Each structure stands twice: as structure tokens, then as C-alpha cells.
Amino acid sequence: MTSAHNVSEIVDENRTTFWIRLKYEERLDTTVKYYTSKMVIVHIIAACGLSISELYYGLSYPNQCPIEPMISTFLIVHGATKFLWIFLNILAIINARFLYGIINKKSLARRLILINLLLQFLFAIWFFSWFIAGNIWIFRNKNHYQSSNSSDTNTFCRQELYDAAMLIINVTYGGFAVTLIATIIRRLISRKKQKNAMNNQ
């Protein structure tokens, strides 16, 4: 009786483990498939444009904002780290299209996408922290800087540099909002399709 009970527990445990693994693989497969979508390409192109702009203004106007010297540094670091995010996304696309799609190494592709997601998570923490710091450096001087008298180093900031930093901050907020709305709409459409598929069975 005890032996039969133990066998039953093992079977139940195996079913639970199998179900958890199946769900885990389904989620990773969904993530891998996301990296074959056109939305990722759009994100990469937009991020490239912003990164180039940030690096251009940050490197072109060094020491041109004595009221807040960190503005040019913010643009350089923000632009450079965005290129790291672009690189991670390109690796994820190669993983999804080549390993998962063409040569059908699904198990390896899942492991690599998990590593990629962990790296992107660490990057997101850094990116968010640096972005908040940039907001502080830029917005706290909004009503205190002037761009007409460069000899007054207590208040001077080059107009082009400050305007570029402000525009990039606002575009980044806009990008976050558009991405959030697009993600919500995509998930709602996906759930609706799943419900319709279940109802048609």
C-alpha cells in the first residue's frame, strides 16, 4: 500500500514538473517569436537614431554647459548604452531567426534567449537609473540657464546642447508611452485570438 502511494506521488510530481517545464518553454518560445517580429526592427531603428543623436551632441559640445557639466556626459553614456541594447537585440534576432527558426535548435535557442533577457534586465536597471539622473541634471536647470553670455559660467549652457538633451528626454518618454500602448494592444489582440480559437474547437 505504501509502495503504491509512493508511486502515485512520484507520478503526480512528474506531471507537475512536466507542466511547469511546458509552461516555461511556452513562455520562452513566445519571447523568441517576438524577436522575429517587425516591431523589434522598428525599435532598433528608432534606438539607432536616438543613439547617434545623443553621441553627436554629447561629443560635439564638451564643456559647453558649465551650469551642468554632466549633460554632455549624460548624452554620451546614454547613447553608448543604447547601442549595447541594440547589440543585445540583434543577438536575440539572430537567435530567434537562425537557431530557433532555420536550424531548429530550440533548446539551445531558449537557453540563449534566457541569458539575453537577464542581460537586458540588468541593462534596463542601469538605463533607467541613468535616465532618471539625466532628467534631474536637465530639468533642474530649465529656468536657470542662459546661452547668450559664455563668460558667466554659473549660468551658461550652449543652447544647441541643452535643447538636444531636452528633446531626447521628451522623445524617450514618448517612445516609452508608444511602446507600452502597442504592447497592451498586441496582448489584447493575442488574447482575443486565443479565445476565438478555443471557442471554435
Read off the pTM. 0.76
pLDDT of residue 77: 94
For residue 11, being part of any structural domain is answered with no
For residue 146, pLDDT beyond 60: yes
User: Does some domain include residue 38?
Assistant: yes
CB atoms within 10 A of CB 185: 10
N- to C-terminal Cα separation, the chain: 41
Q: How many domains does the chain have?
A: 1
Instruction: Look up residue 37 and give its DSSP letter.
Output: S
Give Rg (Cα) of the chain: 24
Structural domain contains residue 155: yes
**Is it the case that residue 39 has pLDDT exceeding 70?**
yes
Say if residue 166's pLDDT is above 60. Answer: yes
**Residue pair 127/151 in contact by the 8 Å Cβ criterion:** no
CA atoms within 13 A on the CB side of 127: 19
Tell me, yes or no, whether 14 lies in a domain: no
Structural domain span for residue 46: 34-200
pLDDT of residue 1: 47
pLDDT in the model for residue 101: 74
**Domain-embedded: residue 2:** no
pLDDT digits (tens, 9 = 90+) for 132-145: 999 999 999 988 89
Residues in the chain: 201
Alpha-carbon gap, residue 45 to 23, rounded angstroms: 32
Residue 75: Cβ-neighbour burial (10 angstroms; 0-12, 13-18, 19+): buried
Counting beta carbons within 10 angstroms of the beta carbon of residue 66, is it exposed (0 to 12), middle (13 to 18) or buried (19 or more)? middle
- Residues 97-120, mean pLDDT to the nearest whole number: 83
Q: What is the Cα–Cα distance from 127 to 119, expressed in whole angstroms?
A: 12
Res. 32 pLDDT band, cuts 50 70 90:
confident
Domain annotation covers residue 182: yes
- Give the containing element (helix H, strand E) for 14: helix 2-34
189 within some domain: yes
Rounded CA gap, 198 and 86, in Å? 37
Whether 157 and 70 have beta carbons less than 8 Å apart is answered as: no
Backbone φ, ψ for residue 153 (5° rounding): -70, -10
Residue 117 lies in a domain: yes
Question: What letter represents residue 176's amino acid?
Answer: F
Q: For residues 14 and 72, which has the higher predicted lDDT (pLDDT)?
A: 72
Q: What is the pLDDT of residue 20?
A: 65
- Phi then psi for residue 156, to 5 deg, are -80, 140
